[in-house]
């Protein structure tokens, strides 16, 4: 069964627009996580960025207390966030590139050029009982390097697929890249997640990509929740994921 991890960063984005620097405020990402889990989500994803633009450290600690499914912490490979992750102990950490000027994570990790430092971080997290995923473009060189690092998962960056979804030739080309990367990862013993830019329109096309374990989706679900509520938004996404053959 294909699993859904709901990214609740943009619930915190809305809160911070009014309550930045305050100890509370609305909407509450922790309450959003509860609703997502009760609607059937298989996990909750948050990105604790260095600039703390949305999710705050206190959010992650609260989520660690209440999450009953699986907490996925997205983070840059920095000493500060690494030390915090080891203390919080999410089920899985997804290492992502991070630039302060970007609105959201714009590309995949350059794993092939950072095998040693990423391997060191992967080992520290694994030693703490935390699985490790690497957020990468669907590039065979990066898949191979991820296996060399020893990551348990990769998360395939689906942003290019989403961006070109309405151009048939480009959409097919991006799906081919995702299929090839997923197949290679499976052959190398690395499990495969995917995410970025996925929504209610483009998700069904992703069913042709094999070996997927989990999709991490945030913005589309949070946006849809304004119209139909968060519970219904999650349930609708889960409906679109049914029938995935793997």
Q: Tokens 């912490």 sit at which residue? A: 73
Residue pair 141/152 in contact (Cβ under 8 Å)? The answer is: no
Instruction: Tell me, yes or no, if 74 is annotated catalytic.
Output: yes
> Rounded to the nearest 5°, which phi and psi values hold at 83?
-60, -40
Instruction: Tell me, yes or no, if 211 is annotated catalytic.
Output: no
| Cα 218 versus chain centre, distance | 8
- For 241, the token pair is 């994921």
Positive or negative: CA dihedral 222, 224, 230, 233: negative
Judge residue 22's burial from the number of C-beta atoms within 10 Å of its C-beta, 0-12 exposed, 13-18 middle, 19 or more buried. Answer: exposed
Give residues with Cβ within 8 angstroms of 8, minimum separation 6: 29, 32, 33, 36, 44, 45, 46, 55, 218, 222
Residue 55 — left, alpha, or beta (φ > 0 → left; ψ -120 to 50 → alpha)? beta
Instruction: Tell me, yes or no, if 54 is annotated catalytic.
Output: no
Neighbour-count burial for 106-119, b at 16+ CB within 10 Å, e otherwise: ebbbebbebeeebb
- Given the residues 98, 174, 196, 214, select the one marked as catalytic: 196
Q: How far apart are CA 102 and CA 44, in angstroms?
A: 22
Q: Tokens 């191979």 sit at which residue? A: 144
- Given the residues 37, 74, 98, 214, select the one marked as catalytic: 74
- Given the residues 10, 42, 47, 54, select the one marked as catalytic: 47
Q: Which residues are designated catalytic?
A: 47, 74, 196
């Amino acid at each position: 069964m294909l699993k859904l991890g709901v990214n609740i960063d943009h619930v915190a984005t809305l809160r911070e627009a009014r309550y930045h620097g305050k100890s509370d405020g609305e909407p509450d990402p922790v309450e959003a996580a509860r609703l997502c889990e009760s609607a059937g989500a298989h996990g909750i994803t948050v990105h604790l960025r260095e600039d703390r633009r949305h999710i705050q450290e206190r959010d992650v600690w609260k989520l660690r207390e209440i999450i009953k499914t699986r907490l996925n912490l997205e983070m840059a490979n920095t000493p500060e966030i690494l030390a915090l992750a080891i203390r919080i102990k999410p089920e899985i950490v997804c290492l992502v590139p991070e630039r302060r000027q970007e609105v959201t994570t714009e590309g995949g990790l350059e794993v092939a050029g950072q095998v040693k430092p990423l391997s060191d971080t992967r080992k520290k997290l694994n030693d703490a009982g935390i699985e490790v995923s690497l957020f990468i473009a669907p590039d065979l060189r990066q898949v191979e390097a991820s296996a060399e690092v020893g990551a348990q998962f990769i998360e395939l960056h689906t942003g290019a697929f989403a961006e070109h979804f309405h151009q048939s030739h480009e959409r097919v080309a991006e799906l081919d890249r995702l299929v090839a990367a997923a197949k290679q990862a499976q052959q190398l013993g690395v499990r495969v997640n995917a995410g970025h830019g996925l929504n209610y329109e483009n998700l069904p096309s992703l069913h042709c990509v094999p070996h997927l374990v989990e999709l991490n989706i945030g913005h589309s679900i949070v946006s849809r929740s304004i119209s139909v509520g968060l519970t219904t938004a999650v349930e609708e996404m889960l409906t679109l994921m049914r029938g995935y053959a793997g």
